[in-house]
């Protein structure tokens, strides 16, 4: 949190008021765990206020009650933004046969909309986002986590839809004959395969590698360290994104999250002369 509030009494007053609403005005006691959860809810909203674009550069912070009220509205706004982005995502969504991706998008996220408690538990993510992303969002929770998750999935969909669905599924089938039950990121698998075509300067929909192509790719990477390989991949990806995606920086930033692992795999398989395990189709 950008500001450490010393106004403990003000925070406790907000929690007390929230507790009365939670208990419906009844004069009953609340457990320590319930009270702590409400304090976490208040602090989550204050953090939402602090991280709102319009407030990020402010040096003077308002009264905690004001920050909480504005932050709670920011959470509501983010929830509405999430709903809008989800509608845009699901309209043309393709799961490519991967069960965990389908279940996360079609079942888990609608469950979040149904169960999310903005008033008393905005910090709770509620659902498990089982399909893994290329980046790490573990530090996020509540609507922030699900909103970022949907943004990342939307980036993946933009990338994958540049290819025919049958081509993507053929890559996945070559990667693992029963890929449908895997809990792996399919965008990274397709990206890794596509890097081979980037190195060879082949068109987007070029298909297949032969012995000569593998040799050329091996020669391209064999004198590079892991860090040099990753830097090279970033440069190739930047050129490719500019050419095929109109320099989509959000997509570029997301795909870059997968390059460290891909660079290590490329270097390892280059050393052992078996790049056919990396570049599949």
pLDDT, tens digit, 9 for 90 and up, residues 160-209: 999 999 999 999 999 999 999 999 999 999 999 999 999 999 988 888 89
**Domain boundary residue, one of 125, 142, 157:** 157
Burial (0-12, 13-18, 19+ Cβ within 10 Å), 24? exposed
Q: What is the mean pLDDT of residues 226-250?
A: 96
Together in a domain, 27 and 128: yes
**pTM, to two decimals:** 0.93
110 pLDDT tier (thresholds 50, 70, 90): very high
260 part of a folded domain: yes
Q: What is the mean pLDDT of residues 3-20?
A: 80
Together in a domain, 138 and 195: no
Together in a domain, 237 and 171: yes
Together in a domain, 222 and 137: no
- What pLDDT, on a 0 to 100 scale, did the predictor assign at position 242? 95
- pLDDT over threshold 60, residue 145: yes
**Domain boundary residue, one of 109, 139, 157:** 157
Residue 179, domain extent: 163-277
Q: What is the pLDDT of residues 26-61, one digit of tens each?
A: 667 789 999 999 999 999 999 999 998 565 555 566
Q: What is the mean pLDDT of residues 106-122?
A: 97
Together in a domain, 128 and 185: no
- What pLDDT, on a 0 to 100 scale, did the predictor assign at position 56? 52
The beta-strand segments (E) located in 101-241 are none
**Domain boundary residue, one of 92, 127, 157:** 157
- The percentage of residues in the chain with a pLDDT greater than 70, rounded to a whole number, is 93
2 pLDDT tier (thresholds 50, 70, 90): very low
CA distance 74 to 84: 15
- Total domains present in the chain: 2
142 part of a folded domain: yes
Residues 6+ apart with CB under 8 A from 59: none
Together in a domain, 269 and 242: yes
What mean pLDDT is reported for the chain?
Answer: 93
Q: What is the mean pLDDT of residues 130-158?
A: 98
Lowest-confidence pick of 12-21, 54-63, 127-136: 54-63
């Amino acid at each position: 949190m950008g500001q450490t509030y010393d106004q403990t009494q003000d925070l406790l007053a907000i929690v007390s008021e929230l507790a009365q609403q939670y208990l419906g005005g009844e004069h009953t006691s609340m457990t320590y765990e319930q009270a702590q959860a409400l304090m976490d809810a208040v602090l989550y909203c204050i953090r939402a206020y602090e991280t709102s674009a319009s407030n990020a550069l402010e040096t003077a912070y308002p009264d905690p009650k004001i920050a909480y009220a504005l932050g709670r509205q920011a959470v509501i706004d983010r929830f509405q933004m999430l709903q809008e982005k989800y509608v845009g995502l699901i309209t043309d969504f393709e799961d490519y046969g991967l069960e965990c991706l389908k279940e996360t998008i079609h079942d888990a996220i609608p469950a979040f909309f149904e169960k999310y408690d903005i008033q008393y538990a905005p910090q709770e993510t509620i659902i498990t986002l089982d399909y893994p992303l290329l980046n790490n969002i573990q530090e996020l929770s509540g609507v922030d986590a699900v909103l970022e998750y949907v943004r990342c999935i939307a980036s993946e969909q933009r990338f994958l839809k540049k290819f025919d669905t049958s081509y993507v599924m053929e890559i996945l089938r070559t990667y693992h004959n029963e890929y449908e039950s895997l809990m792996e990121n399919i965008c990274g698998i397709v990206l890794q395969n596509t890097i081979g075509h980037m190195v060879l300067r082949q068109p987007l929909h070029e298909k297949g590698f032969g012995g000569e192509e593998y040799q050329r790719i091996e020669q391209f990477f064999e004198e590079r360290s892991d860090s040099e390989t990753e830097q090279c991949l970033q440069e190739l990806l930047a050129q490719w994104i500019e050419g095929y995606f109109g320099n989509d920086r959000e997509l570029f930033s997301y795909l870059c999250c997968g390059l460290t692992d891909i660079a290590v795999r490329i270097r390892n398989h280059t050393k052992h002369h078996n790049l056919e395990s990396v570049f599949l189709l």
